[in-house]
Amino acid sequence: MTPTTTDVTHRLVPSPAGRIHLVEQGTGPLVLLVHGFPESWYSWRHQLPALAAAGYRAVAIDVRGYGRSSRPDDAAAYRLRELVADNVAVVHALGEESAVVVGHDWGSAIAANSALIRPDVFRAVGLLSVPYAPRGGPRPSEVFASMGGDEEFYVSYFQEPGRVEAEIEPDVRGWLAGFYAAFSADTMPAPEEPEPHFVARGGTLRERFPKGVLPGWLSEDDLDVYAAEFERTGMTGALNRYRNMDRDWEDLADFDGAPLTQPSLFVGGALDASTTWLADAIKAYPTTLPGLMSSHVLDGCGHWIQQERGDEVSRLLINWLDSLGS
């Protein structure tokens, strides 16, 4: 019988954060799955049983600040180096010396930096939605502040503690539904409508979300899972990842321009701004990802790629993992 997510094992393991909650399924070579914003281990619900059935030990974590993992109070505790240390701790807590790491959205950056900083632990890296771009250029805050003209880029909007939390808190479930819909292929605003990555001065992000519609990949029950987690934990731990981009830029100075040399995979959505805005990063892959073995941009797909195209992404992951060998 094909495994389902009812066959998973939930576990808490020690990490520099305190604890990391993970969900595990299958046996074989370890594949660590790292989600993005605003998600959880549940984002990998399609991949966990598929990878397990293919002969892999699939482990999806709640990133520091999410779900049942620890949520440090200090915003600086969410810098990339700290999240890399969590990933290393998970691998060792599971009794392994090495793993393949796969990430989506912010998880893609966490996965890439895990492989960059700890190549002794992470032997291969899969990147979903957000391409790899080496550290470099001006401070991220300066770049984001220059975007949007009279409007404010969402990353800048997220910087001030409490600001976007105040927008979300009155209706967490509704905000999440709108955020997911805004960047899904079947529900995203038309090109002539206001861009949901930007906020009008004095406005809110929510104003530009689609109203009263869920994307095809997200059931009411799925939304309930996400909403229940964030209603319990609040959003600050998740948002603190955005509040460390300048710290990351400083922390990673020794890796300025560094290529990611392990065997790698990239899968993006053709309708995802992460793919289109960062097209130059993808073009640079021969230099920045010299170990790239497989690269795919899925037509008609938005940002939530492993949920929008669960079976297809699982197949691409398995084909790539099989090519790596154990």
Please list the active-site residues.
Answer: 105, 303
Give the integer Cα–Cα distance in Å for 192 and 208.
12
Amino acid at position 186, single letter: D
CB 54 within 8 A of CB 321: yes
Q: Is 310 exposed, middle or buried (0-12, 13-18, 19+ CB in 10 A)?
A: middle
Count CB atoms within 10 A of the CB of residue 252.
Answer: 19
